Structure 1
Amino acid sequence: MTSNTRVVVIGAGLAGVRLARRLGELGTPVTLVGEEEHRPYNRVLLAEVLAGRYTPDVIALPAPAALTRARVVGIDREARTVECADGSKIAYDRLVLATGSNPVLPPLRGLFTPDHVLPEGVHAFRTMDDCLGLSKAVRPGVKAVVIGGGLLGVSAARALAQRGAQVMLAQQSERLMERQLDPSASKLVRRHLADLGVEVHTDLRVRDVRCVGGAVRSVEMADGYALDAEIVVLACGVHPRVGLAQTAGLQVRKGVVVDDELRTSDPYIHAIGDCAQHDGNVYGLATPALEQADVLAELLAGRVNARYTGTRSLTRLTLPGQTAFDLAAFGETEALPGDDVVQLADATRGTYRKVVVRDDRLVGGVLVGELGTVGALARAWEGAEPLPSDGGPLLHLLTNDGGS
């Protein structure tokens, strides 16, 4: 590609900003288009803003100078332009979709007003505006119900509790963070939340949101039990934001389908981050988004040998506070028949470590508390090399110093 190639990136989240910054470093001009009013920010840290630990400025990303604030409403692939809501058009030679994901809004009765907006007191938790709206609504003693017990729901419940709210977390499945954690680690997360005053209910399906005068008053469960609520937080997951790609006729499955050069079905359009689907995977995590941005920057800057071959990503959760809580999980945390499992637990210290070995290879693990060993374990997992057969080095990896 030549130095005057026009690269346009739609989306000013982690992936889009990283790509624009890397392209700038490599001498390739780029136009970054973002629709939020705020400075680009690290979405991963929104819960820390809600908890009052950080201000929005602290989680701001170093945005490149060429940031255009606009909402893109269409892509003309033949003319190679994008159309903005204000009627303006931006021409591109290469277009990158870094549109991220939208929150899943569950099909609950009463969730929307007749004008199809969320009632007063009901909040998604995905954007800075969501976070600031919640922050204004939180006060000591306010009754808050968090719907969803995944990574986002756990983070939101902890943040609200730290602000003094009376928090109840409702999780439809049988345990918290079931996608990342095994039952033992999930119990430790639940215990940590309980220590903060969060009331956790699992196997509990929410059916109805009750409002009076346009404001939420209670949440009703499938069994008829009702919970008083002045604030309801929807933390039911996310889905890739693919509307632009679909309207433009690009190949979309769960996400926008891309190859190892992160190209969509149109060779002049790429996709990275939460909206992209590579080799069947939609990651929805920060590490793969950043890796994809780095590879695409190399490609767009003319480094023709760069390829993205997938990410083996580790989930890391740190819940700061007076009783800090650290957790890391990677790969398969549940053993299959025939797998070997090494497990160490210390109830007094609240630590738990477990690794799963299959055919002499480390295939997954979960650690709660004292994460000194996580780097060495993650490297052994990422390398996918056979482990020594005597098991000694694995035990050393798990204990780090042999005594913890």
Structure 2
Amino acid sequence: MTSNTRVVVIGAGLAGARLARRLGELGTPALLVGEEEHRPYNRVLLAEVLAGRYAPEVIALPAPAGHRRARVTGIDRAARRLRCADGSLIAYGTLVLATGSNPVLPPLRGLFGPGRRLPEGVHAFRTMDDCLGLSKAVRPGARAVVVGGGLLGVSAARALAVRGAQVVLAQQAERLMERQLDPDASRLVLRHLTDLGVEVHTECRVRDVRCVGGAVRSVELADGYALDTDLVVLACGVRPRTGLAERAGLAVRGGVLVDDELRTSDPHIHAVGDCARHDGTVYGLAGPALEQAEALAALLAGDAGARYTGTRSLTRLTLAGTGHPFDLAAFGEPEARPGDDVVRLADATRGTYRKVVVRDDRLVGGVLVGELGTVGALARAWEGAEPLPSSGPLLHLLTDDGGS
């Protein structure tokens, strides 16, 4: 492929790897450039690697035909070429940014050492190297503090507890996974973690990391209480990785701005996945990233009508394992407004919970914990945004699996 038609994808995460593989299948081979030393992998399953359920190679993704390890440091838009840290240049005809996101590192006193390096025992949880470093450090009886009670923090706390660590989870909000779940579902997540021995503190802010000899020894909470610890895991969310785009002069506003062709402000550059902002939204989830990759692959392979018009994304958390399985799904608006119809089924003994919110005869949100037999039918009804059948009680939404 000559340089004026060559497709180059920066970023070997889920979106970039899927795009490069699909382009190859459609007869438009692409060069995938990633800076991690590991082959592309499914980042969603890192918590299962940490828990010891999967070996790293199990979550590897199918490798595209062209894959090069390099750290891209700059984009020369006029010459249409990339500058790499090793001094090499990579020519492109069409460039795709799939640079993903970086972990948010909270402004804690004592967090950074010389050169802004994290102290020994303090770990972000975003990459395979993060996961392997944390996995090497954890041992039965080790004391660990997880900062953040969102999806990532819950997954990390559970994985560490399964490995035998004494885990404290500190969540600044009033409940766990408050962005995805209603209070009842949050309580079930809390129960699952406490059953595993995790000590959960909500409305709790960590303000200080204390180190001795370059290694963490404790964290201090906002109320002055100190927790002795061997490990700290920072699970405070992610931020789109847009540095390359900004330095290249592309339009960036909380993410690289893209249109329905996933095209940036430069007609020769597209963006997909966690780094992209489409129609005002940065999704930061696997489902939308993969949909964007599929749409862009079709477009770049010659389907002039291919477009990405947005994703109604569903959050799914499956934590397997002998004796302590846990399944959760949430979509749309799990909290009802005045006038909405709400259907709820709860079984405290089995730890299951199902709830849907209906507004103007349309399913607008729901959350399921435990048995997820109906999730397929509910997701289809929600994604379609069609009026629900007028006949039959709303209860059938939670009891009919719809063939899923």
Same fold (TM over 0.5): yes
Q: Does the CA contact (< 8 Å) of 1:75 and 1:82 recur in 2?
A: yes
Name the amino acid aligned to 2:155. Answer: S
* One-letter amino acid of the structure 2 residue matched with residue 353 of structure 1: R
Change (3 A) 1:305 1:136: same
What is the match of residue 350 of structure 1?
A: 351
Residue 168 (structure 2) pairs with residue 187 (structure 1): no
8 Å CA contact 1:361–1:387 kept in 2: the answer is: yes
Contact between 1:261 and 1:307, CA under 8 Å: does it hold in 2?
yes
| Structure 1 Cα separation of the partners of residues 362 and 127 of structure 2 | 39
Instruction: State the match for 2:237 in structure 1.
Output: 237
User: How much has 1:313 moved relative to structure 2?
Assistant: 1.1
Return the alpha-carbon distance in structure 1 between the equivalents of residues 97 and 218 of structure 2.
Answer: 39
Shift of 1:56: 0.5
Aligned pair 1:288/2:291, yes or no?
no
Indicate the SS of the match to 1:67.
Answer: strand
* Aligned-residue offset at 1:391: 4.8
Question: Cα distance, 1:338 vs. partner?
Answer: 1.3
- Figure out how many residues of one structure are paired with residues of the other and give that number: 401
Q: 1:3·1:28 contact (CA, 8 Å) conserved in 2?
A: no
> Where does residue 143 of structure 1 map in the other structure?
143
Indicate yes or no: 2:114 matched with 1:111. Answer: no
Q: How far does residue 115 in structure 1 lie from its aligned partner after superposition?
A: 2.6
1:39-188 to structure 2, matched below 5 A, reads 39-188=39-188
Q: Deviations over 1:114-143 (max 9, x none)?
A: 331000000000000000000110000000
| Conservation of the 8 A alpha-carbon contact between 2:375 and 2:401 | no
Note if 1:198 corresponds to 2:224: no
Instruction: Please state whether the residue corresponding to 1:366 is helix, strand or coil.
Output: strand
1:348 partner letter = T
The CA distance in 2 between the partners of 1:149 and 1:391, in whole Å, is 39
Aligned to 2:361: 360
| Distance in 2, Cα, partners of 1:83 & 1:395 | 58
Deviation by residue 1:206-253 (Cα, 9 ceiling, x = unmatched):
100000010000000000001011000000000000000000000001
- Give the Cα–Cα distance (whole angstroms) in 2 for the partners of residues 139 and 381 of structure 1: 43
Q: SS state of the match for residue 146, structure 2?
A: strand
Aligned equivalents of 1:111, 1:336: Cα separation in 2: 41
| Alpha-carbon distance in 2 for matches of 1:158, 1:336 | 32
* Counterpart in the other structure of 2:399: 399
| Secondary structure of residue in 2 paired with 1:220 | strand
Kept in 2, the 8 Å contact 1:109–1:209? The answer is yes
Whether the 8 Å contact between 2:3 and 2:91 is mirrored in structure 1 is: no
1:397 Cα shift? 2.3
Kept in 2, the 8 Å contact 1:102–1:241? The answer is yes
Task: Read off the aligned partner of 1:16 and give its amino acid letter.
Answer: G
- The CA RMSD measured in Å over matched residues stands at 1.4
1:375 aligns with 2:401: no
Secondary structure of the equivalent of 2:207?
strand
Deviations 1:158-201 (A, max 9, x none): 00000000000000000000110000000000000000000000
* Alignment pair present for 1:310 and 2:310: yes
| Contact 1:15 1:272 survives alignment (8 Å) | yes
1:319, CA displacement in angstroms?
Answer: 1.4
The percent identity for this pair of structures is 84
